[in-house]
Structures are given as C-alpha cells and as structure tokens.
Amino acid sequence: MESFIKAEQNGKNICAVYAHNDDMAIGAIQAIKEAGLKPGSQIKIVSIDGVPDIFKAMINGEANASVELTPNMAGPAFDALLAMKKDGTQPAKFIQTESKLLQPDTAKQEFELKKSMGY
C-alpha cells in the first residue's frame, strides 16, 4: 500500500481500497495514516471477514464496511454436493450463502457480540 500511495501522487488519486480480508485492510489503514491521509473519509475502506480489529477501525471512523463470512456459509453448498453424490440431484448454478454486511453504525454492537462469543 505504501508504494501504491507514493505512485499515486501521495494518495491523491486514491478514493477507495478494497481488501480481500480485514487484516489487509488494517495494514492499508496504517499505511494511509502514515501518509498523512484519513482512511474512512478521504479514502474509503471496504473488506471481508468481520474480525475484531475491523470493528475497532469502523468505530474510529477508519473503515467503511466489511462483509462477514461465517464458518457455516458453506453449508448449503455441501448439502447440494451431498445430494448430487447420493442420488444424482444436480445442484443449482447459483447457491446463496450466508453473509452479512457490517457497517459503522452497528460496529460497536457487533464488536461486543463477537467479544461475548470469544472472538
């Protein structure tokens, strides 16, 4: 991220960062802050996972959203796979899995919920 910020006129041409996991987003937030920019406002931050540190970043106004991927999201896909193996039932071309959009307005409550669950 540091190199990208430097290459893009010290971040002036960057409006958003999408990170494929929250830990990457946290690293990007750190690099953005070190460059003197404001993550979450000058540069929007969106990621995937829903780990505790991203909630802290949202609470602090440094991240804009994360999509939670839960361990049970694979359930419907495995059910379809088992049905295909058992009796030849062809799975749907698209299988909706469970996920949740996490945003700053609920970050504090979500963080407390995760803490109570041992995350």
118 within some domain: no
With pLDDT > 90 as the criterion, what percentage of the chain qualifies?
65
The answer to whether residue 76 is domain-embedded is no
Q: Which domain holds residue 46?
A: 2-71+98-113
On whether residue 79 sits in a domain, the answer given is no
Instruction: Give how many domains the chain has, as a whole number.
Output: 1
**Does 81 map to a domain?**
no
CB count, 10 Å around CB of 5? 21
pLDDT tens by residue, 26-73: 999 999 999 999 999 999 999 999 999 999 999 999 999 999 987 777
Please check whether residue 24 lies inside any domain of the structure.
Answer: yes
In a domain, 30, yes or no: yes
CATH number at residue 36: 3.40.50.2300
pLDDT above 80 for 119: no
Q: Is residue 103 part of a domain?
A: yes
- Is the pLDDT at 105 greater than 90? The verdict is yes
Whether residue 86 is contained in a domain is answered as no
Strand order across the beta sheet in which 16-18 lies: 16-18, 44-49, 65-69, 99-102
Q: How confident is the model at residue 106 (pLDDT cuts 50, 70, 90)?
A: very high
How confident is residue 95, by pLDDT bands cut at 50, 70 and 90? confident
